[in-house]
């Protein structure tokens, strides 16, 4: 089956196909396939879209275009551009008429998630979305532990703010166990976050 990202790009499961196939035969688990969190969420969103469950897309990465070549007939070529720091979150969409807004984060840490992975603007965005009644959270992938958690934005905002009052610079794994919701990696969808959203917000 030809799976495509929302941007129309073909989804390639793994560049190293031979290695890939061997592993898949051993154990049909996403965690062993070396998939990145973003890929798994994109695939899940594609599944939700085709199953008519919700409409969630990854926002394009913000890029500042500096120089463009308009002389080409077929397509305008961008010759110089730079990545911007995102001021919102990666994913947004609609579920049961509510606005969904969330981010996806990965870490190799085993004991906590470093807050340096967030930007001030993203935290402000989370606060605003929550205030206006949107559903806002982040999905965290502790790669070494092979554990995925959904954590409501409120907890993230709380830890972010405590930093400047001499608080920790990271969210301990215990907080994810206590206040977060673990998502077991599945087949389709890989990351069934809507199940948690249903439980937490409806």
Interface contacts to a second copy, rule CB under 8 A:
6-9, 49, 52, 54-55, 57, 59-65, 75-85, 87-88, 92-101, 121, 125, 128-129, 131-134
Q: How far is the CB of 87 from a second copy (least distance, A)?
A: 6
* DSSP for residue 75: S
Question: Is the peptide bond between 126 and the residue preceding it cis, with omega within 30 degrees of 0?
Answer: no
64 labelled ligand-binding: no
18 labelled ligand-binding: no
Strands (DSSP E) along the chain, which ranges?
Answer: 55-58, 63-69, 77-83, 91-95, 98-107, 112-114, 135-142, 147-152, 170-172, 181-182
146 labelled ligand-binding: no
Residue carrying the six token digits 């405590």: 162
90 labelled ligand-binding: yes
Residue carrying the six token digits 């999905």: 139
Q: How far is the CB of 135 from a second copy (least distance, A)?
A: 8
CB 38 within 8 A of CB 58: yes
Q: How far is the CB of 186 from a second copy (least distance, A)?
A: 22
**C-beta closer to a second copy: residue 93 or 189:** 93
**C-beta closer to a second copy: residue 15 or 97:** 97
Q: Binding site for Mg(2+): what residues are annotated?
A: 88, 90, 103, 122
């Amino acid at each position: 089956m030809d799976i495509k990202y929302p941007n129309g790009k073909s989804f390639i499961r793994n560049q190293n196909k031979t290695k890939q196939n061997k592993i898949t035969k051993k154990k049909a688990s996403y965690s062993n396939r070396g998939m990145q969190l973003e890929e798994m969420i994109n695939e899940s969103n594609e599944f939700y879209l085709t199953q008519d469950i919700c409409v969630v897309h990854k926002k394009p990465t913000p890029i500042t275009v500096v120089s463009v070549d308009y002389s080409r007939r077929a397509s305008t070529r961008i010759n110089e551009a730079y990545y911007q720091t995102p001021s919102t979150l990666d994913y947004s969409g609609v579920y049961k008429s509510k606005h969904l807004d969330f981010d996806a984060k990965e870490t190799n840490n085993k004991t906590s998630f470093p807050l340096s992975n967030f930007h001030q603007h993203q935290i402000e965005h989370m606060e605003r979305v929550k205030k206006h009644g949107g559903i806002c959270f982040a999905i965290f992938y502790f790669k070494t532990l092979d554990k995925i958690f959904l954590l409501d934005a409120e907890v993230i905002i709380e830890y972010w703010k405590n930093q400047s009052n001499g608080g920790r610079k990271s969210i301990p794994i215990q907080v994810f166990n206590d206040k977060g919701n673990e998502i077991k990696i599945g087949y389709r969808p890989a990351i069934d976050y809507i199940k948690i959203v249903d439980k937490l917000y409806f």
